[in-house]
Chains A and B, each alone.
Chain A
Amino acid sequence: MHIVVCIKQVPDSAQIRIHPVTNTIMRQGVPAIINPFDLFSLEEALRIKDRTGARVTVLTMGPPMAETSLRKALSLGADDAVLLTDRKFAGSDTLATSYALTSAIKKLSEEEPVDLVFCGKQTVDGDTAQVGPGIATRLGFQQLTYIAKIEAIDEAAKEIVVHRRSEGGVQVMKTKLPCMITMLEGTNTIRFGKMDDMFRAARYGLKTWSKDTTGADETKVGLKGSPTVVSKVFVPKPRAERAKMVEAEGGSPDALAAAAVEAIFGAQPKLADDLLGRAAAGL
């Protein structure tokens, strides 16, 4: 079985700047980590590897510095790593990104057919949750997002049973490989790397692929291949006025609390009735 895990290197803090002319994000000088949501998917892939001996390839698209995240994934136990990097990819939105990643997964499939693609549920920087579904749709894989649990994988029958988080409950689903899975946060805990994997990760000769390596169509990547346009980037407007401060003589907690309750009911007279109804219903 061949598993591809798509990861993204993201800035570790909110310390980001925006290019004043192009309105695109400047990532220089910000510490980078693997998108935390991707780690739940990576761990799940490694657990399948532990059970079945599957081969795990990690794939990322990004600037050359994204190599750091790939080596980190190798040190945790991934077998191979591919860095998809090309200036032509710069400025790709989710549609263009899923196209570029799909071109790389198709190339990986030529070496060994891919049965499972794992993606993060979403990233912490873009927060879109769109790239995974984009890849699944392009590959024609079954799409399994928000997976809380992989109950069973039958390698021979190419079947998988999963628990999918949906609103108000869990869908237990059975489907056929190949499929694309995004794991829900908190479903597992990423392992510590083994010493020999760490040494291997440091020495590993990364595969660095460009647009031409995967044969991606230039008109479908980068700014040109992205239907969305960022028309404005701005700082959220502060509220017009500051909070009205609650004060009380002596400043004891009880006096302050009493003053706060009066202030709340003064500002929202209807709230008292609502709360009363609620308290009555609850008792």
Chain B
Amino acid sequence: MSEPSKPQGRKFQLPEHLKEYKGIWVIVEQERGSVHSVSWELVGEARKLADKLGVEVGAVVLGADSPALNTICAEAFTYGADVVYKVADPVLSEYRTDPYCRVMTDVVNAYKPEIVLLGATTLGRDLAGAIATTLATGLTADCTELDIYMDNRSLAATRPTFGGTLLCTIQTLAYRPQMATVRPRVMSMPDRDDSRSGRIVEVFPSLREDDVITKVLNFIADREQTEAQLAYADVIVAGGKGLGKPENLKLVFDLAKVLGGEVGVTRPLVQAGWTTFDRQVGQTGKTVRPKLYIAAGVSGAIQHRVGMEKADLILAINTDPNAPIFDFAHLGLVGDALTILPALTDAFGKRLSVNRLAG
């Protein structure tokens, strides 16, 4: 990516006193003892950026002190962190904006990282918007690419804008830290290296439960976890407007079932009420990176493309040989999804059952 010429002025120069901000942090999203994969994806990405800058990667782990929290701290090193900031307090056991924001503001002000990254999840977006305000700094949401411009050692955060029709690169030049959120699956999962270790900095926040107004009365775990499953599915069969009518979505479900995959859809189908929002892939829906993505009756609008183009293999089925999806799919099939889908379901079904018997 070429570096554009920079205008001069107060907003574009880093003031001297902010030059002591060093290192790249990832706020690790931990809830009830499990870490959201996006946090490790970001530690991996932070590693690449930090190596470019020649600085350390810090992982911030917040929660109530427990063996599980210590395990998470140790895990952060294996994905690429140099330092883990362990912030343990009973008040932090469940996520609530106010105590998390207060603690993170203090920790950032104390240790001065130059870049802070969070997952663009319900927790990450909630917290990032609050911290960026208390720190009065720039925050770029839902980035699809992060880079460092070496001439001024600044973070270049690229994100789709206006429904993905355009990409823009956003920078925070005169303020620190530079903040960004990144959606799950946009960055690849780093390989674990169990030989890596690092140092743990224990932070003891002075929180009192009585000072926190919001109380969590209960947590109701989802019975069906389609939300999480789509983003991390290995196989996705997706349907678009080319399917014609809502009943035909069944053909997509049938193929997905044979493949043990999940079903995704384009935005117009959600807007038309064919299925629920949690199945929407694209700019305003989920970002996915399955091993196989079969797009049936999907034209390939840029809004959809930005959510799925990182799939390892994309097969597109469309009646229109000039549909934009053929410009970025790996395999294309010109034909009617309504007849091809059942044929594919059969073909895969046979192939997989034959192999199973043979194996």
A residues with a Cβ closer than 8 A to B are: 11, 14, 16, 18, 23, 25, 93-95, 98, 124-134, 136-138, 142-146, 161, 163-176, 185-186, 223-224, 226-236, 238-239, 242-246, 251, 253-254, 256-258, 260-261, 263-265, 267-268, 271-272, 274-276, 278-282
Besides A124-B284, A166-B95, 18 other A-B contacts (C-beta < 8 A): A95-B133, A133-B129, A167-B123, A168-B227, A224-B11, A229-B11, A229-B173, A230-B169, A234-B167, A239-B327, A242-B332, A253-B343, A260-B344, A264-B292, A276-B355, A278-B260, A279-B352, A279-B356
| With contact pairs A233-B168, A258-B347 given, residues A138 and B133 touching in the complex (Cβ less than 8 Å) | yes
* Residues of the A chain whose Cβ atoms lie less than 8 Å from the Cβ of B78: none
Looking at the assembled complex, report how far the CB atom of A73 sits from the nearest CB atom of chain B, in whole angstroms: 21
17 residue pairs from A and B, CB less than 8 Å apart? A11-B162, A14-B302, A95-B139, A127-B161, A130-B125, A166-B31, A167-B122, A170-B220, A173-B217, A234-B168, A235-B167, A243-B328, A244-B330, A246-B333, A260-B340, A264-B313, A265-B351
**Among B29, B312, B325, B348, contact of A261 (Cβ-Cβ < 8 Å):** B348
Interface contact A260-B331, CB-CB below 8 Å? yes
Q: A238: which B residues are within 8 A, CB to CB?
A: 327-328
Assess whether B167 is in contact with A233, with CB atoms less than 8 Å apart: yes
Contact of A171 among B173, B216, B309, B315 (CB under 8 A): B216
Chain B residues, Cβ within 8 Å of A23: 168
Min distance, Cβ A256 to any Cβ of chain B, angstroms? 6
Q: Given the known A-B contacts A142-B213, A243-B331, A257-B340, are A233 and B166 also in contact in the complex, defined by CB atoms under 8 Å?
A: yes
The 7 closest A-B pairs by CB, nearest first: A133-B129, A243-B332, A257-B343, A278-B260, A227-B138, A228-B138, A175-B214
B283 adjacent to A127 (CB under 8 Å): yes
Binding site for A on B (CB under 8 A): 4, 6, 11-12, 29, 31, 36, 94-98, 101, 121-123, 125-126, 128-130, 132-134, 136-142, 156, 160-175, 213-222, 225, 227-228, 234-235, 258-260, 276-277, 283-284, 291-292, 302-303, 305-306, 309, 312-316, 325-336, 339-340, 342-344, 346-348, 351-353, 355-356, 359
- Cβ contact within 8 Å between B332 and A14: no
Q: Which chain A residue lies CB-closest to B174?
A: A227
Complex interface: chain B residues within 8 A of A254 (CB): 343, 346-347
Smallest distance from the beta carbon of B340 to chain A beta carbons, Å?
A: 5
Report B-chain residues with C-beta under 8 Å of the C-beta of A168: 31, 221-222, 225, 227-228
Closest A residue to B217 by beta carbon equals A172
How distant is the Cα of A167 from the Cα of B292 in the complex, in angstroms?
A: 25
Neighbour of B291 across the interface among A229, A258, A274, CB < 8 A: A274
Is B260 touching A166 in the complex (CB atoms < 8 A)? no
Q: Is the CB of A133 within 8 A of B284?
A: no
Min Cβ gap B75→A in Å is 18
A268 CA to B96 CA, complexed, in Å:
44
Contact indicator A236/B302 (Cβ below 8 Å): yes
Q: From residue A137, how far is it (CB to closest CB) to chain B in Å?
A: 4
Q: How far is the CA of A234 from the CA of B291 in the complex (A)?
A: 28
How far apart sit A226 and B136, CA to CA, in the bound complex (Å)? 9
Chain B residue at smallest Cβ distance from A132: B129
Please indicate the chain B residues that have their CB under 8 angstroms from the CB of A235 in the complex. 166-167
Say whether B166 contacts A260, CB under 8 Å.
Answer: no
**Contact of A267 (CB < 8 Å), options: B4, B160, B331:** B331
Minimum distance in angstroms from B12 CB to a CB of chain A: 7
**A169 near B221 (CB under 8 angstroms)?**
yes
Contact B170 A231 (CB under 8 A): yes
Contacts of B169 in A (CB 8 A): 230-234
Q: Is the CB of B342 within 8 A of A253?
A: yes
Main secondary structure of the interface of B (DSSP, over half): mixed
Q: How far is the CA of A142 from the CA of B276 in the complex (A)?
A: 29
State whether A253 and B137 are in contact (beta carbons under 8 Å apart), knowing that A95-B132, A143-B130, A238-B327 are contacts in the complex: no
Are B168's CB and A175's CB within 8 A? no
B261 and chain A: residue at smallest CB distance: A278
Set A130, A172, A253: member contacting B335, Cβ < 8 A? A253
Please give me the residue from chain B that is nearest to A180 by CB atom: B97
Q: By the criterion CB–CB under 8 Å, are A282 and B260 in contact?
A: yes
A94 touches B331 (CB 8 A): no
Cβ of B142 and Cβ of A229 under 8 Å apart?
A: no
Assess the B168–A169 pair: CB atoms within 8 A: no
Chain A residue nearest in CB terms to B348? A261
B14 smallest CB distance to A (angstroms): 11
Residue numbers in A under 8 Å from B332 (CB-CB): 242-246
Alpha-carbon distance between A94 and B342 when the two chains are bound, in angstroms: 48
Residues of B within 8 A of A14 (CB): 162-165, 302-303
Question: Residue of B at shortest CB range from A138?
Answer: B133
Please state if B259 and A275 are interface contacts (CB–CB under 8 Å). Answer: yes
Q: Which residues of B contact A95 (CB under 8 A)?
A: 132-133, 136-139
Q: How far is the CB of B324 from chain A (nearest CB, A)?
A: 9
Q: Which residue of B lies closest to A133 (CB)?
A: B129
Residues of A within 8 A of B335 (CB): 251, 253, 256
Complexed CA–CA distance, A171 and B314 (Å)? 37
* CB-defined contacts of A164 to chain B, threshold 8 Å: 122
Q: How far is the CA of A55 from the CA of B142 in the complex (A)?
A: 35
Minimum Cβ distance to chain B for residue A187 (Å): 11
Contact check, B340 vs A146: say whether CB atoms are below 8 A apart.
Answer: no
B-side contacts of A245, CB under 8 Å: 326, 331-334
Set of chain A residues within 8 Å of B353, measured between Cβ atoms: 279
